[in-house]
Amino acid sequence: PGHADYVKNMVTGAAQMDGAILVVAATDGPMPQTREHILLGRQVGIPRIVVFMNKVDMVDDEELLELVEMEIRELLSFYEYDGDNGPVVQGSALGALNGEGKWVETVMNLMEQ
Burial label, 75 (beta-carbon count in 10 A; 0-12, 13-18, 19+): buried
Span 42-64, pLDDT tens digits: 998 999 999 999 999 999 999 99
Compute the distance between CA of residue 59 and CA of residue 112 in angstroms, rounded to an integer.
25
Q: What is the DSSP string of 22-66?
A: EEEETTT-S-HHHHHHHHHHHHTT---EEEEEE-GGG---HHHHH
What fold characterizes domain 4-112?
Rossmann fold (3.40.50)
**DSSP E strands: which ranges in the chain?**
20-25, 49-54, 88-90
| Order of all β-strands in the sheet with 49-54 | 20-25, 49-54, 88-90
- pLDDT, one tens digit per residue, over 20-29 is 999 999 999 9
Would you kindly state where each structural domain of the chain is located, as residue ranges? Answer: 4-112
Going by the DSSP 8-state scheme, the letter that residue 68 receives in this structure is H
Nearest-CA neighbor of 24 among 65, 81, 60?
65
For the segment 81-110, what is each residue's pLDDT rounded down to a tens digit? 999 999 999 999 999 999 999 999 988 888
Q: Is the pTM of this model over 0.95?
A: no
Q: Contact, 75 vs 86, CB < 8 A?
A: no
